[in-house]
Chain A
Amino acid sequence: MSQPALSTAFLALLRRDFLLAYRRRAELLQPLVFLLVVVTLFPLGVGPSPQLLAKIAPGVIWIAALLATVLSLDSLFRSDYEDGTLEQMVLSGQPLALIALARIVAHWLVAGLPIILLSPLLALWMNLPDAGVPVLIKSLAIGTPVLSLIGAIGGALTVSLKRGGQLLSLLVFPLYVPLLILATSAVSAAVSGLPYNGQLGLILAGMIAALTLAPFATAAALKLSLS
């Protein structure tokens, strides 16, 4: 029996993931609603002063994006693990890193991309000055793939555990620290009229590094969870 080409397998996996995502779309909305709720809590918690909100806006929006991503990470491999699909994928002979990458791309498209689309609304709520909005969108556009890529390693490590969700956040949040620092400082710099390309460039470099390394780490973690 001949193996299908890598790209064929990759696209087939993506299509399957989208179909599954479409069938349980209500579940996918939960992290986004969570994102909106978390951002709403901040003005209620710290007061509606526009200056204060504008000052903390980049941090608040980014932290809410981190929380929402981690919330959706737990289900990244879980259902495939529980119904045995993951095992079949490993046995299919296709490289496991490729399978992992397809899963990560699908996750970003259904969990990361909506955050980017919602971010102008969040910026409006948090009174982020106009100069910061394009940079916020840019930083999310190159930063959310990093969230999915690094998060997938944590998701794969905890997939065989009964209560993996809490552990997952403990594993993944420290790894997000550099991204949070760079992204929020880029937005703050743009608001104060300072150059921000350096920070965005570093995030981009981080994304490329994560893109090349994380699928292999995820594959190793999946193999370990299945052993």
Chain B
Amino acid sequence: MNPIYLFFHKTGSPPWFYRFAGKLIPWLWAGFVVLTAIGLYLGLLRAPPDYQQGESVRIMYLHVPAAWLSMMIYGMMAVTGFIALVWRIRIMEVLTISSAPVGAAFTIIALVTGSLWGRPTWGTYWVWDARLTSELVLLFLYIGVIALYNAYDEPRKAARAAALMAIVGAVNLPIIHYSVMWWNTLHQGSSIGTSGSSIHPSMLWPLVFMAFAFKFYYGANLLSRARLKLLAQDHRKRWVQELLSGKEK
């Protein structure tokens, strides 16, 4: 058999995926812990305070990677959702809906850290700033996907509806992002931005490490959520029964 076809056939099989993900998860957690340790060391101890923002720039090492990842996870949901709808691969349905809570968590982190950064910098917790506003809209999109999934009784139908909503949202997401940015320049003068000026390497490295650390976290959390969903959906199938009786011994 064609090796590529074989690979898809295997990853499409729930028992194989369950075992494979189970082996992968500890490594992803390890990667997360190591990268976070390096990133926090560089960001909190080594990086100098910013000449404009002062010490509060250290919040950026959380805010920026979380904001990046929140957008990326939505894109991932659309990709896996598209595969799920077109080829009807169940693993992809499970991955799509398992991504949503993780993405929502990172969106919440981006919002909270953004407003905590805003208090010392702008003097207020909330400003209708372009990044914060589009993160807020993104949170609503995530909540919509999750709510749609929960509203259906049948899990597979629910996952496919959520996947379709994720695709529709992902098509709109760039438009929302750019229209909000444009709207923001229209309504207020420039505030202290984070982009534009070149970032000094001492501030860039912690950002890079934290960004990769969060991606490992996403991978680990996504797979453990997907495993849970598969177990719940397949609880009458033989592979789960064998797994359970195997664990009993």
Find chain B residues with CB under 8 A from A201 CB: none
Residues B143-166 near A (CB distance < 8 A): 143-144, 147-148, 151-152, 157, 160-161, 164-165
Smallest CB gap from A162: residue in B: B151
A78-117 to B contact mask, C-beta < 8 Å, 1/0: 0000000000000000000000000000000000000000
Contact call B144/A171, Cβ cutoff below 8 A: yes
Find chain A residues with CB under 8 A from B179 CB: 177-178, 181-182
Contact call A174/B164, Cβ cutoff below 8 A: no
The DSSP consensus for interface residues of chain A is helix
Partner of A174, one of B140, B157, B171, B183: B140
The DSSP consensus for interface residues of chain B is helix
B141 touches A (CB below 8 Å): yes
Contact call A213/B137, Cβ cutoff below 8 A: no
Smallest CB gap from A170: residue in B: B144
Find chain A residues with CB under 8 A from B176 CB: 174-175, 177-178
Contact call A174/B169, Cβ cutoff below 8 A: yes
A153 touches B (CB below 8 Å): yes
Min CB distance, B157 to chain A, in Å?
6
CA distance A164 to B169 in the complex (A): 18
Q: Which of B143, B164, B176 has the most CB of A within 10 A?
A: B164
Partner of B168, one of A173, A177, A206, A217: A217
Residues A144-173 near B (CB distance < 8 A): 150, 153, 157-158, 160-161, 163-164, 167, 170-171, 173
A-B contact count (CB 8 A): 68
Contact call A185/B152, Cβ cutoff below 8 A: no
B186 touches A (CB below 8 Å): yes
B161-193 to A contact mask, C-beta < 8 Å, 1/0: 100110111011001100110110010000000
CA distance A198 to B141 in the complex (A): 27
Smallest CB gap from A156: residue in B: B164
Partner of A185, one of B147, B169, B175, B183: B183
Min CB distance, B244 to chain A, in Å?
31
Partner of B137, one of A150, A177, A221, A224: A177
CA distance A153 to B143 in the complex (A): 17
Q: How large is the interface on A (under 10, 10 to 19, 20 to 34, 35 or more residues)?
A: 20 to 34
Find chain A residues with CB under 8 A from B148 CB: 157-158, 167, 171
Given contacts A220-B85, A227-B157, contact A181 B169 (CB under 8 A): no
Contact call B168/A153, Cβ cutoff below 8 A: yes
Residues A165-223 near B (CB distance < 8 A): 167, 170-171, 173-175, 177-178, 181-182, 185, 206, 213, 217, 220-221
Find chain A residues with CB under 8 A from B186 CB: 185
CA distance A185 to B183 in the complex (A): 8
Find chain B residues with CB under 8 A from A150 CB: 168
Contact call A181/B183, Cβ cutoff below 8 A: yes
Find chain B residues with CB under 8 A from A158 CB: 148, 151
Contact call B144/A174, Cβ cutoff below 8 A: yes
CA distance A44 to B10 in the complex (A): 64
Contact call B182/A181, Cβ cutoff below 8 A: yes
B39-61 to A contact mask, C-beta < 8 Å, 1/0: 00000000000000000000000
Partner of A157, one of B143, B165, B182: B165
Find chain A residues with CB under 8 A from B161 CB: 157, 221, 224-225
CA distance A164 to B165 in the complex (A): 14
Contact call B180/A177, Cβ cutoff below 8 A: yes
Given contacts A177-B180, A181-B179, contact A221 B164 (CB under 8 A): yes
Which residues on A are within 8 Å of B, measured CB to CB?
Answer: 150, 153, 157-158, 160-161, 163-164, 167, 170-171, 173-175, 177-178, 181-182, 185, 206, 213, 217, 220-221, 224-225, 227
Q: List 13 A-B contacts (CB under 8 A).
A: A150-B168, A153-B168, A158-B151, A160-B152, A167-B147, A167-B151, A171-B148, A175-B172, A181-B182, A217-B164, A217-B168, A221-B161, A224-B161
In the complex, besides A178-B179, A221-B164, A224-B157, 12 extra interface pairs with C-beta distance below 8 angstroms are: A158-B148, A158-B151, A167-B151, A171-B144, A174-B137, A175-B168, A177-B176, A181-B180, A182-B179, A213-B171, A224-B164, A225-B161
